């Protein structure tokens, strides 16, 4: 396959608001041993991209400084010792960085096939969310059939994937969201019910909906006072998965008696700085347990908010930061 020497990218020349994002030209990267080069057809926009733009989520050492953690496309070149993939394979991948570009490299362990009946644009919405939710909700928090999950931010990428995967594996889901429109979307996605946290105390509402029992797992992407309130809605032996903290205040105060009485567990986790082999373990689990469920497009379905040209990344980040989107925003080179 003949490759160009240079490619269009969007880079972060300085940290700041969305307007700092800049279109540029860079050399097409060469895959190192164990890596594949992907000709990018679609790029998922995720919260780490926005955080990196603001200087709050740097890439791991040795990774590209370009934003972008999830792409879909075709394999364009192979590094030495790549055994899992061949030229022309249709793939999606979780990256350590470098996705806002026409070509991107990924460790072979972090690459998965585009699911049957999914387009590249749809597949680009998968990697960051499905790796994160599978690892944390199912491997770490051990959600099982018959249990109930509470997803904060139910229309976000993480929230929506949590709802859909919970349903796919026999659990039920309750969601919180910030408007009636988003609550309605949560129910369409698969939540049994949704709570507008701006209008209702979600703690009281969750306890009412569960008959006072509480939920088994909470996915928290808010932090701050939500940590204690998430503990307050747990059933006995419940687990809180803490994945992100919104806003400048990174601290949370909890009542330890709640933790003890609930026999609860708080799980903290991040993904980007793990090794390719560690991410490869997650990918293997996805390929075995989740990928066979995707071709049906229900209950795990693509949730694409909108699609935009890569050159409009600054405008897209403005939209992303507003929180108005439902599901994933996608960029196309």
Q: 265-280, pLDDT tens digit by residue?
A: 999 988 888 999 999 9
Domains of the chain, each with CATH number or no CATH = 6-125+272-332 (3.90.180.10), 129-268 (3.90.180.10)
Q: What is the pLDDT of residues 132-141, one digit of tens each?
A: 999 999 999 9
Q: Are 164 and 139 in contact (CB under 8 A)?
A: no
> What separation in angstroms does the CA of 309 have from each of 43, 100, 245, 261, 331?
10, 11, 29, 51, 5
Q: What is the pLDDT of residues 116-152, one digit of tens each?
A: 999 999 999 999 999 999 999 999 999 999 999 999 9
221: alpha, beta or left, given left = phi > 0 and alpha = psi -120 to 50? alpha
249 pLDDT more than 70 = no
Q: What is the pLDDT of residues 160-176, one digit of tens each?
A: 999 999 999 999 999 99
The residue behind tokens 């608001």 is: 17
Q: Are 148 and 171 in contact (CB under 8 A)?
A: yes
């Amino acid at each position: 396959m003949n490759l160009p020497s240079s490619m269009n990218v969007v880079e972060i020349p300085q940290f700041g608001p969305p307007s700092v994002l800049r279109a540029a030209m860079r050399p097409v990267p060469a895959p190192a041993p164990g890596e594949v080069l992907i000709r990018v057809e679609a790029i998922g926009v995720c919260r780490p991209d926005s955080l990196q733009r603001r200087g709050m989520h740097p890439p791991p050492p040795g990774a590209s400084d370009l934003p972008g953690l999830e792409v879909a496309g075709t394999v364009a070149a192979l590094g030495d010792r790549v055994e899992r993939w061949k030229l022309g394979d249709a793939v999606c991948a979780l990256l350590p960085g470098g996705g806002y570009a026409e070509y991107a490299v990924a460790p072979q362990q972090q690459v998965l096939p585009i699911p049957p009946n999914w387009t590249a644009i749809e597949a680009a919405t998968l990697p960051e969310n499905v790796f994160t939710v599978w690892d944390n909700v199912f491997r770490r928090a051990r959600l099982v059939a018959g249990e109930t999950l509470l997803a904060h931010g139910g229309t976000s990428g993480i929230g929506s994937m949590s709802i859909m995967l919970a349903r796919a594996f026999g659990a039920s889901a309750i969601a919180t969201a910030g408007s009636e429109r988003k609550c309605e979307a949560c129910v369409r996605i698969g939540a049994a019910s949704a709570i507008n946290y701006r209008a209702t105390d979600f703690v009281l509402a969750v306890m009412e909906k569960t008959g006072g029992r509480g939920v088994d797992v909470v996915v928290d992407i808010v932090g701050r006072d939500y940590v204690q309130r998430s503990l307050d809605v747990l059933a006995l032996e419940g687990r809180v998965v803490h994945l992100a903290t919104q806003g400048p205040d990174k601290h949370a105060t909890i009542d330890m008696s709640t933790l003890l009485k609930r026999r609860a567990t708080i799980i903290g986790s991040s993904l980007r700085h793990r090794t390719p082999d560690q991410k490869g373990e997650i990918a293997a689990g996805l390929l075995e347990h989740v990928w066979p469920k995707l071709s049906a497009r229900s209950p795990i379905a693509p949730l694409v908010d909108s699609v935009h040209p890569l050159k409009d990344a600054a405008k897209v980040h403005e939209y992303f930061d507003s929180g108005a989107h439902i599901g994933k925003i996608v960029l196309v080179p």
